[in-house]
Structures are given as C-alpha cells and as structure tokens.
Amino acid sequence: MPELPEVETIRLSLLPLIRGKRIQGLKTYTEEVLENPHELDLKGREIRDLARKGKYLRLLFEGAELMIHLRMTGKLLHRAAGESKTENPHIRAELDLDDGSCLQFEDVRRFGRWKILRSPDEDRGYAQLGPDALSDDFDFESFACRLSRHKRSHVKAALLNQRVVAGLGNIYCDELLYRSRIRPDIRVDQVPPARLNVLFREMRPMLEEAVGLGGTSFRDYVDGLGKKGNFQLSLAVYRREGQACPSCGTKIEKTTVAGRGTRFCPRCQPEPRIKKGK
DNA sequence: GCCAGCCTGTTG
DNA sequence: CAACAGGCTGGC
C-alpha cells in the first residue's frame, strides 16, 4: 500500500508520540510477521528515533532497531493509554510502551514484516536500496548512473526498482511519468536525456506535495493516528483510466507494465519521435 | 528481465 | 466467478 509519502506521513505522525518511550513488550499474533523473534530483546529499551529510507521504517534504539516494512496493506497505528482497542482480526503485532500506549500493526494481506536488527544492512533488501528520493545525496548524476544500468528496461520498471531510487511505487511512478510527459512503456534508453532531467526535477516537488497532503488514500491507507491523506485529489492518471486528462482532455488509458496496472495519457505522453538518420 | 507466489478482500 | 490491489522475492 504505502509508498514514500505515505510512509513519511506515518513517521511524522508517530514520532512525537513515541520518542523517548521505553518498550514494555512485544506481542505477535502470527508467526511470520517477525522474521527473527529470538534475535534481541527490546524490552526496556528507549526509542531514540523513527527513521525512514524508501518505504522502510526503522524504530531506533541504542544498539538495535526494529525494521518495519508495511508492504501492501500494513498500517501502524498508535493507541493511547486507555483507548479502546476495537476487536480487529488483522492485528499481526503490537509494541507496548511504558506510558500505557502502544503501536498496533494491522495488515490484512500479511505481507508486512517486522525485523529486529543491530544494523539495517543486515536486511538484504535494505542494504541494496538506492538513495532515498527525498534525501540530499540523491542528485541527477547518481540517478542517471543507476538508471543506465537498466537501459533496456521499461522506464517505469526502472523507477519501480528500489535499487535505482528508493521510495517510488505504482501510484507515484505513474504520476511522475505523467508530469514528465514520458510514456511508461518505453525503454530507458529511448527516453531523451532532456526528458530524464525533467523527470528528475519533477520527482522531489511531487513527493513533497504528496507528503504535505498526507499521502494518497483510496480505502486502506491511513497515518499513525488513523487519518486519511488527500493526494488522491491531485492524481492526474492513477486509477483514472477512461476519464479525461486534466491537461488535454484525452481519455486516460490503462495497460500493464512491469506486471503492474499502468495509466497514462496517450497524447501528453507520446511515443518518442524516431530520430532521422540512424 | 518476467512472472508466479505470498495473502485476503473488493470489484466487475 | 475471475481479475485486481499501493510491494517485494526468488526461480527461470
């Protein structure tokens, strides 16, 4: 479910409520949610920070961390002390804090994972991440370099690849390609370099706008306090197939790229012109 | 690279 | 009933 803006919104909503609290206990309600249950005991440890890279959340302690990936339907919800915890069959894990509050992990599809680590790079997926899309060390040069390792991929597939840039998922890839006027199903090496530059320059403002609006909510996604986001009101193409392009009025089309539902405006995102000569 | 698989729920 | 869903992994 959540991509960078949603995970960042969750992080911002939870941080002031949990920083400085100590862990009283960790409960799991399914076996598979916690990949390494016996690694380290978090009990008594103080939460120093809640960090994010790409779509990964990291609850940081001294000398240890709890890494959380929400995958498709995961939610991380703060319950204040005494707040009635409604019966919910999809709660997979719970972290109790020393002020009587807790963090509940709700995850209908059970793809989400918690992992206790000493260092984040013990997780293979995390270790391979490219730069976070909103980090300062994400510049055009490194972006172009990483993209060039996937010249023959569809440009959308390369953007979905978390080793190229960390944080983009299906929604924001489609929206970013629309804003950059690039068809999702052309090869990386078919994108004119000037277009790639536009794409890079559109990425940060789009993601910051989405964070500012609290992410995109269709049905599942809410932040750490159960609040919905509003970026769905800004979507130009995602889930808008058959409707009018906000720019030119052409009907938005839907196709499949990299195994994912993909929307684009056939007029605003045209096939690249064939170069004359060779 | 692509595609099935992981799960469950919703939608057509 | 089948197809699809905001992600990632592993096998070919």
What tens digit of pLDDT does each residue of A73-102 get?
A: 999 999 999 887 777 999 999 999 999 999
Q: Is A146 a catalytic residue?
A: no
For all residues of chain A together, what is the average pLDDT?
94
Strand B contact at CB of residue A193, distance < 7 A: no
Q: Is A3 noted as a catalytic residue in this protein?
A: yes
What angle is formed at CA A208 by the lines to CA A256 and CA A125, rounded to 5 degrees?
A: 55
Residues A15-36 have a mean pLDDT of 96
- pTM for the full predicted model: 0.97
Say which nucleotide is closest to residue A89, CA to C1' distance.
B8
In the prediction, which pLDDT does A275 show?
A: 53
Tokens of A236: 């130009």
Taking the CA of residue A195 and the C1' sugar atom of nucleotide B4, their distance in angstroms comes to 34
pLDDT in tens, A212-264: 999 999 878 999 999 999 999 999 999 999 999 999 999 999 999 999 999 99
Greater pLDDT, A204 or A275? A204
User: Cα-flanking dihedrals φ and ψ of residue A138, to 5°?
Assistant: -95, 100
